[in-house]
Structures are given as C-alpha cells and as structure tokens.
C-alpha cells in the first residue's frame, strides 16, 4: 500500500484489490473497517471536515445557512464545468471531435445538479431573504470569478467584468488570461474552418462574440448534409444542449431573484432583475439557434 499527496496537502493511502480483499477477510466482510491509524481515508480524500467548516454565516438567521450552502454548491459546479469545457476545448484544438463531444455531453449532466440547486431556495420569501440580506453587504453572485470563466468560455467576453477582482491578483490574472484566450466556441469555429467551412475572422479573442451569417450557413449545411452518427452533427446537437442548459440556469436565477426580492436593486450595484433579463436575452452559440429558422 502506498500513499499519494493530493492538492491541498492531504495524504491519501492507495489500496488495490488485494488490500481490499485482505481487509474484508480480516473483518469477515461485516462490519466495515472501524479502526484507522490516523483519520478516516474518506475525510483524507473528500476533506469533509474542511467543507463543513466553510459555512460561516454572518447572521443567526436560520435561512441564511441554506442560502450559503446552495451558493457554495453552485461554485463547485462552476469549477467542475470549467474544467470539463477546457478539456473539451483542448480536444477540439487537437481534432478529437468525438472525444470532445463526449466531454461536453458529460457537462450537460452537471447542469442537472447545478440547475436543481435553485430548487433548494424556492421556499425563500422576500421577508426571509430580507432578514439577512443587509448583513451580506455588497456581496453578489455577479462577483463570482468562476462563473465569469464560464461566460468567457462561451464567448461572452467583457473586460469591465474582470475589474471587481483587481484586488485579488491571482484571480484577476486568471480572468485576464481567460479573456484573451479563444473561447470554446472559437475552438469549434476553428475546427469548422479546418474542415473547409468559410468562417469569419476573429482578430481579437477578447472581444465579445458577434453572430455571423457565415457561421449560420455552416451549421445549416452540417444539418442538411449530415445526421446522427456524424461527429459534426453530434457536436452541433451537444453544443445546443449546453446552450439550453446554460440558459436554463440563467432563467432559474432570474426567477429566484424575482421570487425572493422582486425588482429591487441588486446587492452588487446592478439594476437587479433587469440586468438578469438582459443577460438571459443573449443566446449562447447564437447561430445554432438562428440556423433552425433557415433550415
């Protein structure tokens, strides 16, 4: 049995089939192992004690804890989805279309959990939210750096939206780098260009993506020429799934805000509901939607 140090410093002892069989035989299979030389291997891997120590509420209002836990769960999903999209992007850049599509399809499943998280707050009334909202100060989901990474990967680039993070050098630098890199959709369009489709030039990857008739025509042709079983067709459908699920998250966010605080000004200084409505109106991978009108 060996041990490996994972990120964060905790040491996790590895174990193969032989070690597992030996431990089961020693305990006759039931109950499971109850004695360990140090802390449980589960906590060494999951860091459950650390996780449960991160719910540091700022009020004694019982409802705040649910609000905080739900927000932290969403942050974990944001990080997971970013990791998967960046992996898919690298695969697309290497021409591994089928593998990239499988990773993107996997990320669609994560949105089931992410979007369901809003349901955990569906009971939150304006009175309950107001009971702890003032104590949150200017804290707002608008300031989530990991969510901003997702927006940038989707092509929704905006340099001003990196500015809230200037006082956090590492976070800010990562966002600036993400702003200047091609988006996931840029990698998709570069793939289509290599496959012979006419694509618009993107001289500045930091600029917000603008829909193009050339891209729309490419998707129309892909749908007309190919079908299930073709890798470009499958990529188009999976990207549409990603776009739809991301829009679902935006819509659920909008409705959660509308239900808990109506059209009040946002905590982070935005106009609140109207800001979210404008965000919802921007399509992700827009030509995949407009192409359906042309087909």
Identify the three-state secondary structure at position 12: strand
Write down the domain spans for the chain: 3-52, 64-294
Interval 240-248 mean pLDDT: 96
Tell me what pLDDT residue 14 has. Answer: 72
Residue 252, CA distances (Å) to 68, 102, 130, 246, 257 in order? 17, 26, 20, 10, 9
Interval 259-280 mean pLDDT: 70
Residue 12 corresponds to which tokens in the numbers above?
């996790």
Tell me what pLDDT residue 283 has. Answer: 87
Residue 129 corresponds to which tokens in the numbers above?
């939210």
CA–CA–CA angle 129, 118, 56 (5° rounding):
55
Residue 54 corresponds to which tokens in the numbers above?
């991160």
Interval 258-263 mean pLDDT: 81
Interval 20-24 mean pLDDT: 65
Give the residue from 178, 171, 191, 173 showing the smallest Cα distance to 86.
Answer: 178
Instruction: Round the average pLDDT of the chain to a whole number and report it.
Output: 89
Give the residue from 147, 217, 156 showing the smallest Cα distance to 189.
Answer: 217
Dihedral Cα 182, 187, 190, 194, nearest 10 deg: 140
Give the residue from 88, 95, 295 showing the smallest Cα distance to 193.
Answer: 95
**Domain 64-294 top-level CATH class:** mainly alpha
- Binding site, annotated residues: 133, 253
- Binding site, annotated residues for substrate: 133
Interval 121-131 mean pLDDT: 92
- Considering only 48-52, 170-174, 274-278, which range has the smallest mean pLDDT? 274-278
Tell me what pLDDT residue 17 has. Answer: 72
How far is 141 from 256, CA to CA, in rounded Å? 12
- Binding site, annotated residues for heme: 253
Dihedral Cα 128, 133, 139, 143, nearest 10 deg: 40
Task: Specify the pTM.
Answer: 0.87
pLDDT in tens, 191-223: 999 999 999 998 899 998 999 999 999 999 999
Q: Does pLDDT of 134 surpass 70?
A: yes
Q: Does pLDDT of 1 surpass 70?
A: no
Interval 121-142 mean pLDDT: 89
Q: Does pLDDT of 224 surpass 80?
A: yes
The dihedral built from the CA positions of residue 267, 272, 275 and 281, taken in this order, carries a sign that is positive
Q: Where are the alpha helices (DSSP H) in the chain?
A: 17-26, 41-46, 48-52, 62-93, 97-116, 126-133, 145-153, 169-180, 184-194, 213-225, 231-261, 273-281, 286-294
The dihedral built from the CA positions of residue 187, 189, 190 and 195, taken in this order, carries a sign that is positive
């Amino acid at each position: 049995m060996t041990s490996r140090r994972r990120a964060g410093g905790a040491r996790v002892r590895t174990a193969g089939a032989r070690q597992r069989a030996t431990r089961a035989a020693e305990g006759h299979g039931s109950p499971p192992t109850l004695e360990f030389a140090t802390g449980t291997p589960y906590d060494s891997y999951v860091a459950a004690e650390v996780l449960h120590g991160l719910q540091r509420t700022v009020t004694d209002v019982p409802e705040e804890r649910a609000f905080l836990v739900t927000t932290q769960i969403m942050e974990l999903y944001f990080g997971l989805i970013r990791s998967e999209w960046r992996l898919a992007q690298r695969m697309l850049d290497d021409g591994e279309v089928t593998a990239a599509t499988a990773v993107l399809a996997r990320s669609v499943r994560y949105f089931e959990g992410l979007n369901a998280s809003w349901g955990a707050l569906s009971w939150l009334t304006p009175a309950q939210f107001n009971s702890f909202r003032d104590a949150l100060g200017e804290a707002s989901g608008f300031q989530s750096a990991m969510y901003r990474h997702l927006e940038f990967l989707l092509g929704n680039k905006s340099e001003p939206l990196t500015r809230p993070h200037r006082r956090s050098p590492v976070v800010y630098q990562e966002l600036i780098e993400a702003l200047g890199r091609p988006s996931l959709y840029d990698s998709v369009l570069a793939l289509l260009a290599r496959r012979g489709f006419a694509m618009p030039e993107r001289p500045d990857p930091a600029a917000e993506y603008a829909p193009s008739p050339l891209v729309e025509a490419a998707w129309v042709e892909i749908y007309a020429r190919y079908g299930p079983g073709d890798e470009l067709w499958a990529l188009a459908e999976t990207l549409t799934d990603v776009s739809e699920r991301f829009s679902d998250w935006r819509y659920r966010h909008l409705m959660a805000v509308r239900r808990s605080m109506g059209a009040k000004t946002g905590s982070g200084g935005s106009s609140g509901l109207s800001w979210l409505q404008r965000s919802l109106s921007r399509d992700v991978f827009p030509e995949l939607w407009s192409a359906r009108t042309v087909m």
